[in-house]
Amino acid sequence: MPQQKIRCLLAMLGTDVHNKGIRTLAQLLRDRGVEVIYLGEHNTAGGVINALIAEDADVVGLSYSTATYLHYTRDLLDKMRTAGVGDVPLMLGGLIHADDEPALREMGVRGIFGPGSTMDQIVEFLQTATGKTLPGGAAAGA
Amino acid sequence: MSDRPGGESVAVTRTGTGADPGTDLQIIESLARGELRVAARLISRIESGDPAILPLLAALHARGGKTPLIGITGPPGAGKSTLVDQLIFRYRQQGKRVAVLAVDPSSPFSGGAILGDRIRMNRHSADEDVFIRSMAARGRLGGLAIAAGDALLVLDAMGWDVILIETVGVGQSEIDILRHAHTVVIVQTPAGGDAVQALKAGVLEVGDIFVVNKADAAGADRTVSQLREALSFRSDAQEPESWHAPVLKTQAVEGLGIDELVLSIAAQAEFWRSHPQQRATRRRLQTRLLLIDQIAETLHQRQQAGDRQQRFEQLLDEVLARRCDLHTAASRLLDHAMK
């Protein structure tokens, strides 16, 4: 029986160590039927991209709690395009200032989920961005 | 490790375009060139059970069997991923190119999974001569060993010098993956009762090398001697011409005992080379069990095709109502599926 799972890479870049949020998200996504490839903290853009390619992930999620996210995100997206994986949707979570959202979207960030975001919003984003359905995903929004 | 953006290498040249990979022959050539994206996509198709790749897998199987496969298993938290990280490090020092297949359980409730083995291997993340792929069990039972074996065919076709297979030794389906391995390393810790747990799980019989990791913890020597004693009762222990599984102590986080493990793995491979008869017997046993797995998997897949699923549900109802027993229901389904 074909099983079209959503494979989601979750990582933190650079020196950011506040991993509570992304660890919680990993568990919540697993409970929604997502295969989470969890890279933890202290990743480089190159390391994330190599993992993205090897794991054939459908989507990448980054979490930030420091103010350097514009710089890191632009760098990652540039390198993703160079590596030929610029088409893989990128979502951000954590402490993202509302003022920065237009700039991030302009760069190519597809989803931004700061404090107050719900799991249903994230699940809906994952399904739309990947074109795959999660078990119970459609009903989950109800 | 650099924590600022820029500077680290990305395997751009071998990522390919991600476009249509072409005919089976072109895919095989792409794999032989080491195109990572082609391999990664192919493994995804194996994972999703795409029947269209069966001819390609047959072609890969016909050409395969060249790369040494080392299986590493043990209970959760034993330090398997850290040991794998250390093995990658040592093999890279020897100039070998390494692929890793890391299999983790899926949640039986949601079907989701957290695949976190890469974290322990993060220092190799920018090394394009290391390829790590995570695989979730997806509740496949016997099918897990089949799917893992198919993924290993893909890695085998890429010309890596060594392939490591990491799997949690908790369920039969995870242990079954070791049927693909030429050398099986079983990892234990000194935590209470682990040596006895190894006996219970039946993993004692399939191990070629035993590792007591976290050897600085209390009870390590006791665990080692318990394992040695248990191994001395193994049916092949008294045969002079058989491989006698060593028990090693490691502290994977500190990198201690890894050289001995690398030497043991090499010695085991050398044993197979110098004992072709034993190697053939082992391969035959492993392949026999894999073929039995495959029969069950093939029948299971046929069962789920089209109207057969409905027939399955009807017979399930009959069993529940006790109008038919399990043996009879299975026979009827199989007679039907063989047609």
Let me know whether B260 and B334 are in one domain. Answer: no
B106/A55 Cβ within 8 A: no
Let me know whether B71 and B217 are in one domain. Answer: yes
How many domains does chain B fold into?
A: 3
In chain A, what residues touch B12 (CB-CB under 8 Å)? 82-84
B269 occurs within a structural domain? yes
Let me know whether B43 and B155 are in one domain. Answer: no
B116/A15 Cβ within 8 A: no
Let me know whether B247 and B318 are in one domain. Answer: no
In chain B, what residues touch A84 (CB-CB under 8 Å)? 12, 15-18, 37
Let me know whether B154 and B180 are in one domain. Answer: yes
B8/A37 Cβ within 8 A: no
Element (H, E) at B81: helix B80-93
CB A29 within 8 A of CB A55: no
The whole-number pLDDT of residue A48 equals 96
Residue B71 phi, psi (nearest 5): -95, 135
pLDDT digits (tens, 9 = 90+) for A86-119: 999 999 999 999 999 999 999 999 999 988 899 9
A-B C-beta contacts closer than 8 Å:
143
B318 occurs within a structural domain? yes
B293 occurs within a structural domain? no
Q: Is A7 on the interface with B (CB under 8 A)?
A: yes
Q: Is A92 on the interface with B (CB under 8 A)?
A: no
Tokens of B24: 């089976």
Which ipTM score applies to this complex?
Answer: 0.90
Range in B57-66, B123-132, B155-164, B290-299 the model is least confident about: B290-299
pLDDT digits (tens, 9 = 90+) for B194-232: 556 655 656 778 899 999 999 999 889 988 998 898 888
B289 occurs within a structural domain? no
Q: What is the domain extent for residue B178?
A: 64-274
A79/B10 Cβ within 8 A: yes
- Which residues 278-337 on chain B approach chain A with CB closer than 8 angstroms? 301, 304
Long-range contacts of B286-294 (CB under 8 A, 24+ apart): B286/B179, B286/B180, B287/B179, B289/B176, B289/B179, B290/B145, B290/B146, B290/B149, B290/B179, B290/B180, B293/B142, B293/B143, B293/B145, B293/B146, B293/B176, B293/B179, B294/B146
Residue with tokens 């995870």: B174
Let me know whether B115 and B259 are in one domain. Answer: yes
The whole-number pLDDT of residue B11 equals 46
Complete domains list, chain A, with CATH: 7-132 (3.40.50.280)
Let me know whether B170 and B255 are in one domain. Answer: yes
B9/A46 Cβ within 8 A: yes
A14/B8 Cβ within 8 A: no
Let me know whether B94 and B148 are in one domain. Answer: yes
pLDDT digits (tens, 9 = 90+) for A37-81: 999 999 999 999 999 999 999 999 999 988 889 999 999 999 999
